[in-house]
Structure 1
Amino acid sequence: MDTLMHGGVQPVRVVLRALSLVALHRGERAPVVAEMVRLSPQAVRNIAARYRATGLDHALYERPRPGAAEVLGTADKQRIIAMVCTDLPTGAARWTVRLIAEQVVKRQLVPHVGRETIRVLLRSHDLKPWREKHVVPR
């Protein structure tokens, strides 16, 4: 515990949990500890329960979270980028994020996709089709 408290930069959540455990070890009650570390009394009790049940590491550190699944697969991304590199639909002066999202669904490349997903995809490939009349020069 001393190496954690004096060992350099740590995430704030870890430090607050460690401070909670130290105060509880000194005999402080959960509401008093909660007031000191600015957590709820229930959160302090949960930290103590995790410590008793599974040990220090599980009380201090969170399990890795899986995160959200990717909306587009690799093949979907490639098809969208290829579409952006082709000719524009009739009547359009340039590709916009909104137009790309509409055309992707219209051409049935993916069932549904949001504009933000398209924007992030284009940014990751350093494409800015709205700045040029055609993305791939002829």
Structure 2
Amino acid sequence: MYIMINKGFKLGEDDKCFLNDFVKKSKEEKRAYVLLLLDKGVKSVVIAKMLDISPNTVTNIKKRYLEGGRDHAIYDKARSGQPKKYDIEKETEIIALACTDPPEGYKRWSIRLLAETLREKEGFESITRETVRIILKKAQLNLG
């Protein structure tokens, strides 16, 4: 196979050592291979064909390396998302309540009844049925 040389792209020695170790044991190894192949002068189009990825992906990995270094090129940024509203202590409190006897006049706890009861407690003023359901499901607790 004929390999075209890509001038002007060089990895630092530390980055080369890290990437060589990284490709042996990581899920993100394709990104590391891209950087190593770019360092050897292989053209982006050839790398894309070799690794079965799009040429744009190769370009993006190269761009990320040049902008922020090795870690920026290989690892994804932490994704933003809504932070957890209830910590493990609050979740434990919800599960513990579900494991108690239901209030007088009720045969068993329902998710709606749990949510209503929890809303009366401090720290749970805005809890919804869906939140209670998800926490109980995660704990593999079935009220039925």
Using structure 2 for the length normalisation, give the TM-score: 0.60
1:21 to 24, 27, 35: 35
Q: Which amino acid aligns with 1:116?
A: I
2:134 to 116, 120, 123: 116
**Contact 2:136/2:142 (<8 A) preserved:** no
Q: Distance in 2 between the 1:130 and 1:29 partners?
A: 59
Instruction: For residue 51 of structure 1, give the secondary structure of its aligned residue in structure 2.
Output: helix
**Contact 2:45/2:55 (<8 A) preserved:** yes
**Contact 1:16/1:37 (<8 A) preserved:** yes
1:12 to 24, 27, 41: 27
Deviates more, 1:18-27 or 1:77-86: 77-86
Deviation, structure 1 residue 60:
2.4
After superposition, the Cα gap between the structure-2 partners of 1:8 and 1:23, relative to the gap in structure 1 and judged at 3 Å, is: closer
Instruction: For residue 25 of structure 2, give the secondary structure of its aligned residue in structure 1.
Output: coil
Q: Which segments of 5 or more consecutive residues in structure 1 lack a partner in the other structure?
A: 132-138
Q: CA RMSD in A?
A: 3.2
Count of residue pairs the alignment pairs up: 120
Partner of 1:77: 91
Instruction: Indicate the percent of aligned positions where both proteins have the same amino acid.
Output: 28
Partner of 2:76: 62
Q: Distance in 2 between the 1:66 and 1:57 partners?
A: 18
1:33 to 47, 51, 59: 47
| 1:97-116 matched pairs, under 5 angstroms | 99=110, 101-107=111-117, 108=119, 109=124, 110-114=126-130, 115-116=133-134
Using structure 1 for the length normalisation, give the TM-score: 0.62
